Structure 1
Amino acid sequence: MTFPLNWRVALLGLLLTTSAAYAADSRPTSSPAAPSAHVITERPGHAGIASANFHATEAGHEVLAKGGNAFDAAIAVAATLSVVEPESSGIGGGFMAVLHRASDGREVFIDARETAPAAVNAKDYLNKDGTPNRDTALNGPLSAGIPGEAAGLAWLSTHYGKLPLKESLAPAVRIARDGFKPDGRLVNAISERAEDIRRWPASAAKYLPDGKPPVVGEVWRDPDQARTLELLGEHGFDGFYRGEVGKKLVDAVRAAGGNWTAKDLESYQVKERTPIVVNYRGYRVVTAPPASSGGVAVAEILNILSGYDLTKLDTVHRTHLVIEAMRRAFRDHNDYLGDPDFVKMPMDMLLSPYYAAGLRQTILMDKATPSSMLPVSAGTDPGMHTTHFSIIDKDGNIASITQTVNYTMGSTFVAAGTGVLLNDEMDDFALVPNKPNVYGLLGSDANAPAPGKRMLSSMTPSIVFGADRVGVIGSPGGSTIITQVLEGILAFIDGKDAAGIAGQKRFHHQYMPDRVDVESGTFDAATTEGLTRMGHTLKERSSWGFMNVVTWDLKNNKLDAASDPRRESGLGKVQ
């Protein structure tokens, strides 16, 4: 039975209006009930790591060779990326991780997202006329949340690793101390942000020696960060959040007009949360719960698509249905989600297959639904400059980790004497309700800043379990993280290998603006014409994230690792 478009839009409005009352009455929860352990009896006997930089991948394998597991290797990869890829992530930022422990099948989500300082004040992000102040939201110490990555690395070591934290950090310390040859992407990022970097003396001294960016192919050293990583390795949490480093961080931030306190650092907490689990076509997808918005959106999209047999559809209609599912999931993602420790969210509804079935009834098979005809919502976006890495070790432990400092080079503010480049994650809050952030997207009260609150993220580290295959998938890319991971999951389920998943062409719809962003070469002329005829507006987009994928063929115990071909310095390696 089919219904006219206006009737379906009315139905969707009823569904979404009803959900508000549902949210008010339901028990607050950050994710569904804890999933049962997923124990895999096979063991690969070898390891695979895929990251955005070959130094980081090699560092992970180095730690594995010392007797470490996937979680020790993750520490090595993350810390090395902090040194060689600061434009995307670092110990001045945060991460989100989905882990699978082989010994007992335990699946857990590690939330090392940044938090707002206690003295956060929305007025600091307003101009005198009440308009958003993009400068304080994106540049300098006021734009920085309390970092979570260092605490997260210490947590991984203590609770899941086999080696002392100092050993897992050793490759990053060595590379920072002895130097490395920066790639063109890092040099270009420094050049792009040079004007802002020059505003902060410690930043200029680090990234613009002699007034210029480092030179591609010439050795560049980071002795201050090497010392900070050494102290983290020796003293764990206290080595970063207290003592010498903690004091330097607070002193530098406050001297430059920021509002951090020693208590902000000392009180930071890593959160363990229950992952979101969704079943789709016989595969079990384990993904990120809030304060990530990504897992909820991926689960909702897959639940919507589960009502169709996409394998029997032509490319135009299959793509159309995926776009329409994206549109509806992003509408909900924008309106309801935030930090689960602060916001009551209708998780049971959003993850329900019955709710998805209702949304499915609002989709026409031959016509796009204009977003303007759906109920109004507002959303946030975590930025384009993030990184992801995937790891499976010889025992079958799995780490899927996405980390970020938000915008390119974060806040551009380096805390003197630490080598730590701070994030600018405060812009991920809805600092000014219904006013766009740097990416032109809006925010709702669910994501308003508050002391100690985590800002909403689209980071979507995921693991996909099938009867014969396992996939570890994630990507950077701002709001496109969600759709890139979704398309990676669909490609994995369709049988693509790691290289095919990482390298496939991409498209994206996020409800508003009402358009389909398309990578050049994604669609042929016939598909483009068919989608346009249905009412979709296609716009070519050049900026996409760098996906890193590891797959495990359980039938022949073979691992396959691939780094996105869009990033020349990335490396997926099985060893």
Structure 2
Amino acid sequence: MRFLVKLPALRARAVLLGLLLVSGAACADSPRTVPAAAKAATAQKGPGKAAIASANFHATEAGLEVIAKGGNAFDAAIAVAATLSVVEPESSGIGGGFMAVLHRAADGKQIFIDARETAPAAVNAKDYLAADGSPNRDAALNGPLSAGIPGEPAGLAWLAKHYGKLPLKESLAPAVRIARDGFEPDSRLLNAIEERQKDIQRWPASVAKFLPGGKLPAKGETWRDPGQARTLELLGEQGHDGFYRGEVAQKLVAAVQAAGGHWTAKDLESYQVKERAPIVVDYRGYRIVTAPPPSSGGVAVAEILNILSGFDLTKLDDAHRTHLVIEAMRRAFRDHNDYLGDPDFVKMPLDMLLSPYYAAGLRQTILPDKATPSAMLPASTGVDPGMHTTHFSVIDREGNIVSITLTVNYTLGSTFVADGTGVLLNDEMDDFALVPDKPNVYGLLGSAANAPAPGKRMLSSMTPSIVFGADRVGVIGSPGGSTIITQVLEGIMAFIDGKDALGIAGQKRFHHQYMPDRVDVEDGAFDAATTDALARMGYTLKQRSPWGYMNVVTWDLKNGRLDAASDPRRPSGLGKVQ
């Protein structure tokens, strides 16, 4: 399929400059390219300890347990992800998918693992339209029509087979134990169940899982999930086929079809993990290895950094530095909406978008002390970005690194649990441009590049990243819907500025995504003088409650010291070095 783009007229100058000057700029290093900074990291024997930062202490401890049994960072990632599926289903799970950037210490290999969900073969955009042609939000967000074919189980099996040291069954054992023996849900999970109670009540198996006895779980109660324990056991025993064929697959298809969905056995059997070359961008002497499409995040982060590389931000006051960052965000999100999709289905101008010459053209459109209204770019509308998904970071004793972001999309995904499996299905179909140029639940717009098609992967904001410097390595990522991209950007910049793991995870945030044309600001992000200066430049600022739950691990190459921190906004998270 070929994707043709009508270039917005007001960007013609920047695009033309990029097209005139670009000369085969690479969009990504090959999977086996070893950046110079990465060589510095792997020249040692590793830090001698392991560090994990995740959004839940059960998950962090599960990963460290697997490392203690002789596993590596990739085995630990399996344990953390599976445990999060049990204890944090509001954000991720084996009914969803993930994206991961890996660094293998033995040979310096950098690789991107794409375990994103896919559309079923019978997908029909008309299923997501209301009678008046507007988006049907219920079909896109609730129940089996909203669910893509899960990728996380295949991704975990892939990690074990190609990168881990332990059998998959051993890495899944902590999650199986917790699901079977039980745990006390934290307040965030309890609040999510209460928030989506009416949707949960539409599906009997969902009620059985999330509303035992027909009522909301009480704080302090022990919650068990025997259905998911059994599914994880079969995955551990049979690998990929334990989920995508046989008993579990049959139950998934039967449950989806009985509730009006269109999955088939072939949809599950056909699912494949994709290994892709990561995007690599250099900024201020650091090399950032990040996520390529079908993630939109890595392209946007690279484009923003390329724009900012032409400014010396260290010589600017807070207001003018912030102004330039916001303007770079604005332009990158506009391109995000225009061009990006599944690379197996659409042709994207990545050479152009990632070219420093294209960035130079965009840079020339930024006024030094005045906001560029998004109305000067093609006009559209958007809604509030959401705050879901999860991320964790791992470095093991040998120096293997995992940066992985997982999701079921909206809080508690589709709220649909497939009877007999314990599997909560995602609602990732909403991440397609189900209705072109209409916003999804996170306010992001899309075009034909991200239209649904059989087997196609929906665009994602997930941006797992690793930052390599001469003296330090940082593993950074976050949940947060469309704000993932700007959170990771700000985290990378904070790391380069020398902040430690807690400083990166806990710093105050701001966000602009082109539309709506406003700057979302966390309370305390700007002082009064900066706020006033931005308002005079023409920005509309909107205070928002804290967002995102970043989990960061850093490695000081000079002394081997590891530092791990979970976002202080999430008390149940844990960053731990062992």
- Indicate the TM-score class for this superposition, using the shorter chain for normalisation: over 0.9
Does the Cα contact within 8 Å between 1:29 and 1:344 map onto a contact in 2?
Answer: no
Instruction: Identify the range of structure 1 (506-515 vs 37-46) with the bigger mean alpha-carbon deviation.
Output: 37-46
**Does structure 1 residue 341 correspond to structure 2 residue 353?**
no
| Correspondence for 1:15 | 14
Q: What amino acid is aligned across from residue 212 of structure 2 in structure 1?
A: P
| Correspondence for 2:225 | 222
SS in 2 for 1:333: helix
| TM-score normalised by length of structure 2 | 0.95
Provide the rounded CA distance (Å) in 1 between the counterparts of 2:425 and 2:360.
43
Does the Cα contact within 8 Å between 2:296 and 2:459 map onto a contact in 1?
Answer: yes
SS in 1 for 2:150: coil
Q: What amino acid is aligned across from residue 51 of structure 1 in structure 2?
A: S
SS in 2 for 1:557: coil
- Alpha-carbon deviation of 1:34? 5.0
Provide the rounded CA distance (Å) in 2 between the counterparts of 1:119 and 1:412.
21
Q: What amino acid is aligned across from residue 413 of structure 1 in structure 2?
A: F
| Correspondence for 1:570 | 573
Q: What amino acid is aligned across from residue 339 of structure 2 in structure 1?
A: Y
CA 1:219 to 1:557, structure 2 compared with 1: closer, same or farther past 3 Å?
Answer: same
Provide the rounded CA distance (Å) in 2 between the counterparts of 1:137 and 1:202.
20
Does the Cα contact within 8 Å between 1:28 and 1:345 map onto a contact in 2?
Answer: no
SS in 1 for 2:52: strand
Does the Cα contact within 8 Å between 2:52 and 2:575 map onto a contact in 1?
Answer: yes
Q: What amino acid is aligned across from residue 108 of structure 2 in structure 1?
A: G
- Alpha-carbon deviation of 1:213? 2.0
| Correspondence for 1:50 | 53
CA 1:497 to 1:546, structure 2 compared with 1: closer, same or farther past 3 Å?
Answer: same
Which of 298, 311, 314 is the equivalent residue of 1:311?
314
SS in 2 for 1:298: helix
Q: Map residues 147-158 of structure 1 onto 2, 5 A cutoff.
A: 147-158=150-161
Does the Cα contact within 8 Å between 2:56 and 2:574 map onto a contact in 1?
Answer: yes
| Correspondence for 1:36 | 33
**Does structure 1 residue 421 correspond to structure 2 residue 430?**
no
| Correspondence for 2:138 | 135
CA 1:461 to 1:348, structure 2 compared with 1: closer, same or farther past 3 Å?
Answer: same
| Correspondence for 1:167 | 170
| Correspondence for 2:83 | 80
| Correspondence for 1:3 | none
Provide the rounded CA distance (Å) in 1 between the counterparts of 2:335 and 2:384.
14
Instruction: Identify the range of structure 1 (34-43 vs 248-257) with the bigger mean alpha-carbon deviation.
Output: 34-43
CA 1:381 to 1:109, structure 2 compared with 1: closer, same or farther past 3 Å?
Answer: farther
**Does structure 1 residue 183 correspond to structure 2 residue 186?**
yes
Provide the rounded CA distance (Å) in 2 between the counterparts of 1:368 and 1:32.
34
- Alpha-carbon deviation of 1:432? 1.1
Instruction: Identify the range of structure 1 (50-59 vs 354-363) with the bigger mean alpha-carbon deviation.
Output: 354-363
Provide the rounded CA distance (Å) in 1 between the counterparts of 2:113 and 2:181.
31
Provide the rounded CA distance (Å) in 2 between the counterparts of 1:379 and 1:188.
26
Does the Cα contact within 8 Å between 1:334 and 1:377 map onto a contact in 2?
Answer: no
CA 1:381 to 1:539, structure 2 compared with 1: closer, same or farther past 3 Å?
Answer: closer
- Alpha-carbon deviation of 1:480? 0.4
4+ aligned runs moved over 4 Å, structure 1 = 25-35, 376-383
Q: Which runs of 5+ in 1 are unaligned?
A: 1-8
- Alpha-carbon deviation of 1:56? 0.1
Instruction: Identify the range of structure 1 (215-224 vs 281-290) with the bigger mean alpha-carbon deviation.
Output: 215-224
Q: What amino acid is aligned across from residue 277 of structure 2 in structure 1?
A: T
**Does structure 1 residue 107 correspond to structure 2 residue 121?**
no
Does the Cα contact within 8 Å between 1:383 and 1:406 map onto a contact in 2?
Answer: no
| Correspondence for 1:321 | 324
| Correspondence for 1:4 | none
SS in 2 for 1:109: strand
Percent sequence identity is 82
- Alpha-carbon deviation of 1:16? 3.6
SS in 1 for 2:190: helix
Q: Map residues 258-273 of structure 1 onto 2, 5 A cutoff.
A: 258-273=261-276
Pairs aligned (count): 564
CA 1:173 to 1:381, structure 2 compared with 1: closer, same or farther past 3 Å?
Answer: farther
Q: What amino acid is aligned across from residue 129 of structure 2 in structure 1?
A: L
| TM-score normalised by length of structure 1 | 0.95
CA 1:351 to 1:334, structure 2 compared with 1: closer, same or farther past 3 Å?
Answer: same
| Correspondence for 1:369 | 372
**Does structure 1 residue 483 correspond to structure 2 residue 482?**
no
Q: What amino acid is aligned across from residue 69 of structure 1 in structure 2?
A: N
SS in 2 for 1:470: strand
Instruction: Spell out, residue by residue over 1:364-412, the C-alpha distance to the aligned partner (whole angstroms, 9 max, x if none).
Output: 1111111111245789999531000000000000000000000000000
Which of 554, 557, 560 is the equivalent residue of 1:557?
560
Q: Map residues 404-553 of structure 1 onto 2, 5 A cutoff.
A: 404-553=407-556
- Alpha-carbon deviation of 1:168? 0.1
Which of 273, 281, 305 is the equivalent residue of 1:278?
281
RMSD: 2.0
Q: Map residues 86-125 of structure 1 onto 2, 5 A cutoff.
A: 86-125=89-128
SS in 2 for 1:233: helix
Instruction: Spell out, residue by residue over 1:178-226, the C-alpha distance to the aligned partner (whole angstroms, 9 max, x if none).
Output: 0000000000000000000000000001100111122222111000000
Provide the rounded CA distance (Å) in 2 between the counterparts of 1:144 and 1:28.
37
Does the Cα contact within 8 Å between 2:101 and 2:464 map onto a contact in 1?
Answer: yes
CA 1:417 to 1:320, structure 2 compared with 1: closer, same or farther past 3 Å?
Answer: same
SS in 1 for 2:310: coil
Does the Cα contact within 8 Å between 2:180 and 2:225 map onto a contact in 1?
Answer: yes
Provide the rounded CA distance (Å) in 2 between the counterparts of 1:339 and 1:350.
16
